[in-house]
Amino acid sequence: MLVFGGNTHNDTAYSYGAKCYSADFLAYDVICNSWHTLHQPPNLYLDVARYGHTASLHDSKMYIIGGFNGKMLGSVLRYHPGE
């Protein structure tokens, strides 16, 4: 399973509602029951961090569509693991 981004804030009494949007790529290995951080493309822009998006796989590529990072996003990102 591949996962991209998400809302990573931890609402505690000390966070004051701080929002942190992730741009991490993670893979879950169902056989080993473990998560692994995947290599991020070197040209990844910091503003791709988001949550509330959708993603699909096609021809070994992950397409990430829309989401929110403080504003609504309409962009489409393509990630090819291993490139």
Total domain count, the chain? 1
pTM, full prediction: 0.73
**pLDDT at 81 exceeding the cut of 80:** no
Residue 37 belongs to what domain range? 2-79
Collapsing DSSP to helix, strand or coil, 28 comes out as strand
pLDDT in tens, 11-56: 666 656 666 888 888 899 999 999 999 887 777 666 788 999 999 9
Q: What's residue 66's pLDDT? A: 95
AA letter at 34 = S
- Buried b / exposed e over 51-74, threshold 16 CB at 10 Å, is bebebeeeeeebebeebebeeebe
Which pLDDT value is given to residue 18? 62
pLDDT of residue 74: 92
| Euclidean distance between CA atoms 35 and 21, whole angstroms | 19
Please report which residue ranges of 1-83 form alpha helices under DSSP H.
none
Per-residue pLDDT tens over the stretch 51-66 = 999 999 999 899 999 9
pLDDT at residue 70 in the model: 87
